[in-house]
Amino acid sequence: MYRKFKFFLRLILLAGFTGLWSSTITLGYLTRKEAFEQSFDLVWSTVHESHWDETFGGLDWEKTRKTYYPKLRRIRKRADLVRLMQKMLDELDLSHYKVLSNFVEPLDNHPRGGYVGLELKYIGGQAYVTRVDEDSPAADGGVMPGWRLKSIHSRSIKRLVSPFLKADLSERKRTFYIQRYLNDVVQGGPNRKIRTDWYPPAGRALKVYMIPEFDERQESEAVGYLPSQRIEYQQTYLEGDVMYIRFNYFLPQLMSDIRDSIESASGTANGIIIDLRGNSGGMAIMATGITGLLVDEQTTLGTLVMKKGYISYQGYPQAKRYRGPVAILVDGSSVSTSEMLAAGLQEAGRARLFGEITLGESLPSLFKKLPSGDVLQYAVGDYHTPGGYRIEKNGVVPDEILIPEVKQLETGLDLPLQKATEWILKQNASEENDAS
């Protein structure tokens, strides 16, 4: 059960970042044994040839192969092969080393693929609603921000997350996985009634039955071995003519929306808030494009140190760019490219960060198809900010660390958003005073 659970942790992350796809075993002219052996060898050799650190962080990679390869003889199922290869990769203790596959059973039998239109924040062992979309099943059921989730289909939150609590995880990763898992389960399956029990901030517990809709959010195009994703984009104006932008992935289909929003802010917005909370990352090159819309001179976001050479991520000023104050919201679910953009603009002095320390998984990666039909994701270098800070395992530290409290969540107060808005308006007030 625990082995199955550990692999399910990978599925939670992949469901948020790379998705799961349908596939069949297409071994071609290879026998199953040959395909399994060649897949194992390809995973090991790819890491051996591409890893930037000759010492592998103190890990004897040759010895690691000798440890896991004999176990291959006992492997008969593809799911077991995937688990074996993933366990070997886990020895590296680094992010973005994963075997992507749908040939492993999920942790539970809860329906998936639906949409009820709410978002949960896990804190202090409880799950609180932080957002309810308009005209959604959750909104129709009367669910409101600040409500605490008691159970799903009579299964308490404590029972649902118990495997995560028993797992050997850092507190930051445990919270990240639990939050992803609960937000996945609460969406339910399309047209399959889901029973939820809630504690409103005031009053007795309530039962709410929702019928999840089919998730009709826009789907991105597949990029290489990266399957399509459900993407979200929101742009609105807050008090004081502050532009608010939120999106959940760095994917090409969203770049035109991001560009249009930032370019239109010139002359109309007193500041921009970019909300990267819950953003799972994506195409690193997009971070440089967004940077170019916000800076007046060439700006370095960071450097990727590879086995041979390095890549410097540069943002080049665009003709139409925004020069006003910029705030970025981050939390423990801001991952990868989100962390690169936030840290780079923070060090450049171009943005002020509000929220929680990020997850700390920022290694750019590539994908490679395996003979077994699965896909290997592997990091291609170690990423450092211009100041030499390593985001991997450490996370990005906001300028103003704002950890939500229960009372704030119950009242629906978004403290990081409030503080970011206040900071932007203060910057404008200071500029007006200086001008006068």
Q: How many helices (H) and strands (E) does the chain have?
A: 12, 20
Residue with tokens 């985001």, as numbered in its chain: 391
Superfamily of domain 233-430: 2-enoyl-CoA Hydratase; Chain A, domain 1 (3.90.226.10)
Closest CA to 44 of 71, 74, 15, 11: 71
Distance CA 308, CA 322 (A): 36
Summarize pLDDT for 78-122 with one digit per residue, the tens.
Answer: 999 999 999 999 999 999 999 988 766 666 778 888 899 999 999
Q: With H, G, I as helix, E, B as strand and everything else as coil, classify residue 254.
A: helix
On the question of pLDDT at 10 being above 80, the answer is no
pLDDT 10s digits, 165-192: 988 888 998 999 999 999 999 999 999 9
Q: For residue 41, is it left (φ>0), alpha (ψ between -120 and 50) or beta?
A: alpha
pLDDT in tens, 288-345: 999 999 999 999 999 999 999 999 999 999 999 999 999 999 999 999 999 999 999 9
Q: Domain limits of the chain?
A: 2-100, 114-214, 233-430
Domain 114-214 superfamily per CATH: PDZ domain (2.30.42.10)
Which CATH number among 1.10.1760, 3.30.750, 3.40.50, 3.10.110 corresponds to the domain 2-100?
A: 3.30.750
Distance, CA of 10 to CA of 180 (rounded, Å)? 11
Residue with tokens 């080049």: 316
